[in-house]
Amino acid sequence: MTFSITRLGHHGDGIASGPDGPVFAARTLPGEVIEGEVTGDRIIAPKIVTPSTDRVAAPCPHYRRCGGCSLQHASDAFVEGWKAGLVRDTLARVGIDARITGVKTSPPNSRRRAALSGRRTKKGAQVGFHVAGGTDIVEGPDCRLLHPDLIAALPALDQITRLAATRGSEVTLHVTQTATGIDLSVEQAKPFDRDVMLALAPLAMAFARITWNGETALQQTPPVVTLGAARVMLPPGAFLQATAEGEAALVNAVNESLAGAQSVVDLFAGCGTFTFPIAKMAPVHAIEGDRALIEALAHGARHATGLKAVTAQVRDLFRNPLLSEELSRYDAAVIDPPRAGAEAQVAQLAASDLTTIAFVSCNPGTFARDAAILVGAGWRMGPVTVVDQFRWSPHVELVTRFDRG
């Protein structure tokens, strides 16, 4: 059957009209004519009959199989425009007319953290990303996504997979590039015993720390990242922005939004991505629900110089949001919630007497819901900066400012 792709869905698949409703075709673009057979609501193995002018040759030789990327077939200009449009259209559905000021896209080979899959095989091991829509693993020593430091660690990750996985089983390898080396967390691994420890020791030099099923197994040096003027020791499994360039774009936008603030509360502060840059300008009270993260933040604050006062608090902002009267202690806030958004906390922000809110989001859908709460309470939303840390994926992040009306 022949189909015409009219638009992309939120997951980056092309959408066409099928015999029984919309059908989806992976790695196609608006305006393309394709051929393929329909199974359910999917067009299987679509053949491009008429390509879009925005179609380009994928820079990675593994792209046809690898599921690590989904938009390498589209030009950079198209992807930027699509992601900006995704944010604009999502906000328009809740009645907000968003002005997009630009898209900040991280360069190739800049991803400094990733979750790789490792499988032990009869001949050794495989380490990489899963194939698109499947369970096979694509090895990518010339990956165009990962930072070169992570690519250089692939041979050691291969050896570790042989130790961690039983025959035919799979482990997850969380790798994070830090200033002191790569932090590795191995999950779904077999038990860590003396034999594993002895075999792992020669490989440990390739990593700052190795965590095994949630427990620190070997550590050469604490994994440290620089956040503003602070050096923070990451707890195992700690969140870090996906690229240094993406982090810088978010931090710059937040700092511009909060310029002139006299006191700031940082909600969902993590390890201090925004806390420490803001603390160069104003005192900051950081709140985070994960005790290990807030302890790492507090430790970094105690050893940093040139900052205004930084205080830290453990608090579950989903179950126990900071109330509007508590927010009155500050004149500005930054909020960077998880993908689920923070509806209850945003309701308290909306009712507070803050003057400025810098809002960071990794989910346009939940951001639109939360933004509508603020706008409905009389807050004005400023221009939106779209940040594309997850290059060649449908993932979108954004940052904007709200001012009291």
* Residues classed as catalytic: 362
Measured distance CA(17)–CA(37) in Å, rounded: 13
Look at the block and give the residue holding tokens 């958004």. Answer: 341
**Distance between CA atoms of residues 403 and 377, nearest Å:** 11
Q: In terms of C-beta density within 10 A (0-12 exposed, 13-18 middle, 19 or more buried), how is residue 270 classed?
A: buried
Which class for 263: exposed (0-12), middle (13-18), buried (19 or more C-beta within 10 A)? middle
- Return the structure tokens found at 8: 């992309």
The 10 Å Cβ neighbour count of residue 8 is 22
The set of residues, in sequence order, having a beta carbon less than 8 Å from that of 92 and lying 6+ positions away, is 98
What would the DSSP string read from start to end of 76-125? HHHHHHHHHHHHHHHHHTTT----EEEEEEPPTT-B-EEEEEEEE-SSSE
